[in-house]
Amino acid sequence: MLVGLSAVVIGVCALGVSLYETKLMREEQRAAVLPLIELARSHYTDSVDGDMSKWRLSLHAENVGIGPARVRDFIVTVDGNPYPTWGSAMRELLGKDINVSYGRSSISGRTIPAERQVTMFDLSNTDLAADIIDNFDRLEFEACFCSVFDECWTTSFSTFGVSQPVEQCVATDSSFTE
């Protein structure tokens, strides 16, 4: 009877160790594909004298994590109000109903591989760059992204790459459409 009881105790211990090792392996798998999106801006000038009329401006999303990031939602706001396109957001930011020329790459619905950068917005009218830069504190953009294991986070330009976990990423009426 003592031998039988010892076998049961050893079997339960072995099961516990096995479950613990399985949990550690799952955590390791998640960590091996963890994405991390950073939203940033770049502004620079091509001129020697720093002439503000020649400044260039671009906005980027970069996956600095080690796994792919699936961007499921993206929101751009000016003064807390959402805008569906870069053009409408920039017109509001400038307070002018003008044509804003820019290049863009879609980010919503896109999978960004690890160590890749996407230029979401690249201003073509360099004469507007100084005004946009001066008002940049009124502009916010936020991405909601998920890993291959459907673990999701949000990050925004103002949080400097710090992501907050969320249950899921769902597009809303406020979502960016470009």
Q: What is the domain partition of the chain in residue ranges?
A: 1-32, 34-166
CB 122 within 8 A of CB 104: yes
Q: pLDDT tens for residues 25-76?
A: 777 766 667 899 999 998 877 666 655 567 788 999 999 999 999 999 999 9
- The pLDDT value recorded for residue 47 is 62
Whether 100 shows a pLDDT value over 80: the answer reads: yes
Could you list the beta-strand ranges (E) of 85-172. Answer: 102-104, 111-112, 117-123, 139-146, 152-156, 164-166
Q: pLDDT tens for residues 122-171?
A: 998 888 888 898 999 999 999 999 999 999 999 999 988 789 999 999 99
- The pLDDT value recorded for residue 115 is 93
Is residue 86 exposed (0-12), middle (13-18) or buried (19+ Cβ within 10 Å)?
Answer: buried
Copy the structure tokens of residue 40: 């940033």
- The pLDDT value recorded for residue 19 is 81
- The pLDDT value recorded for residue 50 is 57
Q: Which residue has the tokens 């940049």?
A: 136
Task: Report the range of poorest mean pLDDT among 41-45, 73-77, 88-92, 103-107.
Answer: 41-45
Rounded mean pLDDT, 91-112? 91
Task: State the pLDDT confidence band at 5, using cuts at 50, 70 and 90.
Answer: confident
- 34-166, which class in CATH? mainly beta
